Every structure is written in structure tokens, then in C-alpha cells.
Amino acid sequence: MLISDSMPLLWLSYVALSLVVLVTGYLAIRWLPRLPRFVVTGLVAGLIWMPCSFTLPLLDKDAAYHGMAPAVVVAGIAVLQHDGAALASAVPLLILGIALGGAAAAGLAFWLGRRQAQRHDDSDDDGGGTAASTRRQEPVIG
């Protein structure tokens, strides 16, 4: 059950909060043109959504907990604990996540831009495309 298990609830909370961060960040930089706005949002999405495995030693000598967490969290904890091995596994995944997020966002921005340009071209072709057809028509009563 979702409420009784802490890990699914933790992941659900993380996804919800990260979506809030992405949406508010996207809206905060709305002064930028579409492509840079998408790319910055994609970079941040790749940064916070890239998963990474980690290992925690338990109280028993030979026991350890293996799990998955966002790479940015694993890297942050590794820096605080001065754990070079965990940091060495998290940083390449962070770089990969940033690159994938930026590339996906740039592709989405170009795809949406091409669709909008194509839609704009289709609406221009309806009138014949001449200068006379682009003049404003005054309304006629009667």
C-alpha cells in the first residue's frame, strides 16, 4: 500500500515537489525566448530527475542497504560525508542527466517551433499569399 510503504511515498513526494520546482522555474524565466527557457528547464529537470544507486553501511559489519535516489541527492550527501566513491558514481550521472534533459528540451522546443511555423504558413496560404489578400477588410453593413 502506498501510505504504509515509506519509499513509494518518498518518491511520490519528490516527484510532486520537483514538478512544482520545474513549473515555477519555467514561469519565473518567462522573459526569455522559448528555446532558452525550455533548455534551462530541461537542464534542471535532468539534474533533479536522474536516478543513481547508493549503498549505506548498516550497524551489522557485513550488512549494507542498497537503494536508488536522485543523483543530485546522492552527490550532495557524498559531499557532506566526504565519500569520494559515491561522488565519483553520482557526478557522471548528473552530467549525463543534464545533457539528456537539455537535449530533450531543445528538441521539444524545435519541434514545437516547427509546428507553430507550419501552422502559421498554412494560415497564410489560405488567402493566396498575395499582398492584396493580406490587406485588412473593412466590415460592410447591409
Q: How confident is residue 14, by pLDDT bands cut at 50, 70 and 90?
A: very high
Concatenated DSSP letters for 27-77? HHTTTS-HHHHHHHHHHHHHHHH-EEEEEEE-SSSS-EEEEEEEHHHHHHH
Which residues, 6+ apart, have CB-to-CB distance to 66 below 8 Å?
53, 54, 55
Look at residue 2 and tell me whether its pLDDT is greater than 60: no
Grid cell digits, residue 139: 466590415
Cα dihedral 11→16→18→22 (10° resolution): 150
Look at residue 128 and tell me whether its pLDDT is greater than 80: no
CB of 49 closer than 8 Å to CB of 101: yes
CB of 76 closer than 8 Å to CB of 66: no
pTM of the model: 0.73
Mean pLDDT of the chain: 85
Look at residue 8 and tell me whether its pLDDT is greater than 60: yes
